[in-house]
């Protein structure tokens, strides 16, 4: 079989595979990836809010359990990062009530003063449920009112959790399939163009 006949034979099959099919498939997987990434982020926010709720109402053991759930999710799913940004000063997770428990349990500062400080800082940052800036506010309030707050190790109430760049979940595999479909579309277009060029 001559080279021209071989090319005709190959092209007869290649032209059945439309690049448009792969492009449409890539678009579908890309849309799925966007929704999956959004779902990952929303679930992370729900778990983070649960941590803050537990911090406010629960014991140190309950806070630790909710933190472990959050960490387990963030470290295994894309688009769930909870790390300090380049422009950020404070970690994304600051547990003000846990901080207060440790500070008051050490008996150096009046419980009433911490309660007053908490109420003051709550009113100053009412739109921020997370308490990201409230621990420094509480410490400053205590200092301003003549007491010296006991140093509490930041690792007990400040947390950063890093999410992976890629995760083997719906979001991750959707991105892989979208990229793969787009690559197949490009390969099909190039192959089709190359065979047409040689046949002409």
Q: Angle of helix 111-124 relative to helix 134-144, nearest 10 degrees?
A: 130
Return the closest-CA partner of residue 130 out of 176, 97, 108, 163: 97
pLDDT of residue 3: 58
What are 71's two structure tokens? 């960490």
pLDDT along the chain (200 residues), means of 10: 56 63 93 97 94 86 92 95 66 83 64 74 62 69 70 84 94 97 88 68
pLDDT of residue 173: 97
Asked if 166 contacts 175 with a C-beta cutoff of 8 angstroms, the reply is: yes
Distances in Å between the Cα of 54 and the Cα atoms of 22, 64, 91, 97, 106 are: 48, 9, 18, 9, 21
> Taking the mean position of all CA atoms in its chain, how far away is CA 74?
6
Asked if 51 contacts 95 with a C-beta cutoff of 8 angstroms, the reply is: yes
- Record the pTM: 0.70
Asked if 125 contacts 131 with a C-beta cutoff of 8 angstroms, the reply is: yes
| Distance from C-alpha of 159 to C-alpha of 181, rounded to nearest angstrom | 39
> Taking the mean position of all CA atoms in its chain, how far away is CA 130?
16
pLDDT of residue 129: 43
Q: Angle of helix 170-199 relative to helix 19-57, nearest 10 degrees?
A: 160
Domain parsing of the chain, residue ranges: 19-82+161-200, 93-158
Asked if 162 contacts 74 with a C-beta cutoff of 8 angstroms, the reply is: yes
pLDDT of residue 167: 95
The count of C-alpha atoms lying within 13 angstroms of the C-alpha of 197, restricted to the half-sphere facing its C-beta, is: 6
Return the closest-CA partner of residue 166 out of 84, 102, 76: 76
pLDDT of residue 143: 75
pLDDT of residue 118: 74
Q: Which of the 8 DSSP states describes residue 150?
A: P
Three-state secondary structure readout of 31-54: HHHHHHHHHHHHHHHHHHHHHHHH
| Distance from C-alpha of 32 to C-alpha of 61, rounded to nearest angstrom | 38
pLDDT of residue 94: 86
């Amino acid at each position: 079989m001559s080279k021209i006949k071989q090319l005709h034979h190959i092209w007869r099959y290649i032209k059945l595979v439309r690049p448009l099919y792969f492009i449409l498939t890539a678009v579908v997987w890309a849309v799925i990836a966007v929704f999956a990434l959004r779902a990952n982020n929303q679930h992370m926010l729900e778990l983070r809010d649960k941590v803050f709720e537990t911090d406010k109402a629960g014991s140190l053991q309950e806070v630790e359990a909710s933190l472990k759930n959050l960490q387990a999710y963030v470290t295994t799913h894309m688009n769930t990062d909870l790390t300090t940004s380049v422009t950020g000063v404070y970690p994304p997770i600051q547990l003000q009530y846990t901080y207060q428990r440790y500070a008051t349990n050490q008996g150096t500062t009046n419980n009433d003063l911490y309660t007053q400080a908490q109420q003051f800082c709550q009113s100053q940052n009412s739109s921020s449920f997370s308490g990201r800036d409230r621990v420094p506010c509480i410490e400053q309030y205590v200092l301003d009112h003549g007491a010296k707050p006991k140093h509490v190790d930041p690792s007990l109430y400040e947390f950063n959790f890093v999410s992976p760049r890629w995760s083997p979940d719906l979001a991750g595999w959707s991105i892989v399939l979208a990229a793969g479909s787009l690559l197949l579309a490009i390969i099909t277009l190039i192959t089709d163009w190359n065979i047409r060029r040689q046949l002409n």
